[in-house]
Amino acid sequence: MISHPPVFSSLLKRTDLDAFLIEVAVTETASMLASRLGPERVLLIRPGSDSLLALSVGHQLLKEHSEALDQSFLDRWACDESLQKYRSLAESEPFSPKRIALKIAAEPRYVDRLHKGIETIAARLANPEIVPINLPSVGLSQTRGAVAHCLWGNCFALVGKYGLKAPGEPAGGVIRIPGQINAQSEIQGLSHKFFMGRIPCSEEGADDVCLRMDLPRGAYDTALADDSRAALDYSDPADRPELFLCFGTQFESNMMNRERWVKKLKDPNVTLVVVDPIPDPFTEQHAELIIPSPPHAAAAKLYQNGEWRLTLSVPHKKASPDTRTDATIVYDVMALISKRLRESLESDSELMKDHNDLAPLVQSGYLQSRFEDTIFGGQLSRVEGEVSRGQLWSRVLDYFADGEGRMGAVYCRPEHESGAAITWAELVEQGSVVYGGVGTTRYLLNSEDPEHFPFADKFRNARKFQFFTPTSRDIELPTGILLNSGRSTLSDNMPRIRFAISTFNSGKATPILGLPEDNPVYVSIALGAKLGLKTGGFARVRNPELDTSLVFRVVVTERVKGDSVYINFHKTKAEMTEGQYLNKLTSHKGRCPYTAQSNFKLTVVELEAFEKNGEE
């Protein structure tokens, strides 16, 4: 309801709505779904136990609905070795619905509801008339990364409901609903393990990317030799000068373990450069350079969401003549580097000698043609100061295409189901395009064609469906008091709900109108009684791993369950005036081993009553 109101509203309007919500708290979404379908449709579980629930549904399918297993799908398109490995784990007694319900129910009173819910979901999956669709939340990724996603995929594949039974007719599967921006998740995209298109950072991958970029072989040797780090580890101390170039502000606010990032960005060895239309106070105080870019309304942006839809946002405001978009700033900087290196080459200065890895690219004219304007002898046009988006789009299409010596066309190349590339003119004329044959050809379960394979790897080579088997660590339940955070307000206060729906997650463009005074810590009734916490009082929330703490106003509520607490992460006056930054409590260390997504929704904390202004 908060992150994507149009989709949720559409779902609630369906007369045939048949849904379960898996949650750790009674959010606004949970309340509305319960009022429509009944409270038994909201399955309240312990934080981080989503994977065990999915495994239990798989257990029930294998043990009680074996007749529903799609043997044709499994024999033709699934990897038997991975199936047997998964089956061996899921069929074992520890994952029976009864035992899992006892283990993961948010509180003892929800055990029976959860037990029945697991059995009902399995029965629905087994029903040949039912088309199951999973709508995973961003929050699911922020507990156990990809683990639960993969285990739900296993369940769908067991009954042959992972893909399309005919063009435009889903057999079942996952639909990722695009939500609002989430800086903590987006930063995970800065992977040091892959080139663009998920091409691995290996010797073979680097050679392939050199071909795609028209570079000589070996041009990425420096990158391969680099002792690279995950983006979240950039806050590690260093004994050398470092440059942080940030597109967007509130960087130090949005990163987990905020105090560590603040210390890092204030380090004398660090130079901070920020490109953004609305600099925040931290940026104004500590950045060496601030480059204003046009606001979103004055910049062309191309988005891709979870349904493979490309959407071109056309500027509807005139940008200031002294500003440039992020993309143009990057290309103009590279053009200036190219120009200076060319001049250095001509004058035989020391500058070129310091960059001998770039010397061949300067001598061949590569840097000039790639980045410099046509009026300076380059091949990248500028239109009213902006780099040509049409030319950049052509480069993207060429990079993803197949060619001599390349490992193949990259799976995500923007093209129609016919294989024809989606042109820039089409995007300008139509505004949005669903590409890649999604909904028509990809994942099509065509049993009539003996040569057909619905699944493929990143280079479009046919491959079998791989069942995922988690490790014991993947499904280990966290212990202690767990801090959860998110978009939900956990309230019925309509002004506060409207503010949560309308604001950005990270907050630099948050409207002042309706800005809450603070975000309280929501505590379950059982935990409140155990710790002596009362609504209206205050509590100190401490992360023992980081030895950091914050004081919050307390709300004891039925909407939070068990040994967990909840704090909304939207901007407040207390954040700006009192430094009540939620990420002072979250850690950058916990990661999904498969995606590097942080596990900050499983933060272990300690709580104690706190006296503030003479009140306890």
Q: 456-475, pLDDT tens digit by residue?
A: 999 999 999 999 999 999 99
Q: Does domain 481-610 have CATH number 2.40.40.20?
A: yes
Q: 25-36, pLDDT tens digit by residue?
A: 999 999 999 999
Phi, psi values for residue 482, rounded to 5°: -110, 130
552: amino acid identity, one letter: F
pLDDT of residue 179: 54
With a CB cutoff of 8 Å and minimum separation 6, the contacts of 548 are 259, 542, 584, 585
Where in the chain are all domains bearing CATH 3.40.228.10?
A: 5-174
The single residue listed with the structure tokens 């993803």 is 400
HSE (side-chain half, CA atoms, 13 Å) at 28: 22
Structure tokens at 50: 């989503």
602/479 Cα distance (integer angstroms): 9
CB 538 within 8 A of CB 610: yes
Q: Which CATH superfamily is domain 5-174 in?
A: Dimethylsulfoxide Reductase, domain 2 (3.40.228.10)
pLDDT of residue 340: 94
24/42 Cα distance (integer angstroms): 10
416/453 Cα distance (integer angstroms): 19
pLDDT of residue 504: 54
With a CB cutoff of 8 Å and minimum separation 6, the contacts of 165 are 171, 445
pLDDT of residue 507: 46
Where in the chain are all domains bearing CATH 2.40.40.20?
A: 481-610
Structure tokens at 313: 């946002």
pLDDT of residue 616: 45
- The lowest-confidence range among 5-9, 455-459, 501-505 is 501-505
Averaged pLDDT for residues 311-316: 89
pLDDT of residue 290: 96
Indicate whether 426 pLDDT > 60: yes
pLDDT of residue 259: 93
Q: Which residues pair with 615 in a beta bridge?
A: 612
Neighbours of 38 (CB within 10 A): 9
Indicate whether 559 pLDDT > 90: yes
Q: 524-556, pLDDT tens digit by residue?
A: 999 999 999 999 999 999 999 999 999 999 999
* CA 261 to each of CA 68, 124, 241, 250, 485: distance values in angstroms, whole numbers, following the listed order: 52, 47, 16, 11, 20
The single residue listed with the structure tokens 């037990």 is 115
CB 581 within 8 A of CB 575: yes
What pTM was estimated for this model as a whole? 0.91
Neighbours of 350 (CB within 10 A): 8
Indicate whether 349 pLDDT > 90: no
CB 414 within 8 A of CB 397: yes
pLDDT of residue 405: 94
At 367 the three-state DSSP class reads helix
Distance from chain centroid for Cα 429? 29
591 confidence band (pLDDT: 50, 70, 90)? confident
At 403 the three-state DSSP class reads coil
